[in-house]
Amino acid sequence: KAGVTQTPRYLIKTRGQQVTLSCSPISGHRSVSWYQQTPGQGLQFLFEYFSETQRNKGNFPGRFSGRQFSNSRSEMNVSTLELGDSALYLCASSPPLTRWGQALAGELFFGEGSRLTVL
């Protein structure tokens, strides 16, 4: 069974540009969540999608957005990039019958991440 796939794995952008990252969840998983990981802030929750709807959102500015498609694949977009957006962006999917915030939401399957460098 294929794992969570994130593309691209590495990318370099300059300040002011925008970037789109893609995540393909494990087949059958309908919940996809995104995290930002930096040395200073650690792993921080960005947002979570289930059945094409954003169910939860972390404390990030509106420059960070996402969406989910009918096949559960998800993308996140960061506009007007800043130096501080340099980070590892991780996507995770959850198996079926997951109700976010409850016990069944325990098992997240993470991808390898997309490492973004903003110059």
Partner 1 sequence: DAKTTQPTSMDCAEGRAANLPCNHSTISGNEYVYWYRQIHSQGPQYIIHGLKNNETNEMASLIITEDRKSSTLILPHATLRDTAVYYCIVLYGQNFVFGPGTRLSVLP
- List interacting residues with partner 1 (CB under 8 A): 4, 33, 35, 42-45, 48, 55-56, 58, 90, 92, 100-101, 103, 105-113
Tell me whether residue 66 or residue 111 sits nearer to partner 1 (CB atom). Answer: 111
Tell me whether residue 73 or residue 109 sits nearer to partner 1 (CB atom). Answer: 109
Residue 42 to residue 37: CA distance in whole angstroms: 5
State in angstroms the smallest separation of the CB of 79 from partner 1: 23
Tell me whether residue 69 or residue 100 sits nearer to partner 1 (CB atom). Answer: 100
State in angstroms the smallest separation of the CB of 107 from partner 1: 5
Phi, psi of 94 (to 5 degrees): -125, 150
Question: Computed over its alpha carbons, how large is the radius of gyration of the chain?
Answer: 14
Residue 41 to residue 31: CA distance in whole angstroms: 24
Tell me whether residue 15 or residue 57 sits nearer to partner 1 (CB atom). Answer: 57
State in angstroms the smallest separation of the CB of 16 from partner 1: 28
- What are the contacts of 44-50 at 24+ separation with CB within 8 A? 46/76, 46/89, 47/76, 48/100, 49/74, 50/98, 50/100
State in angstroms the smallest separation of the CB of 36 from partner 1: 11
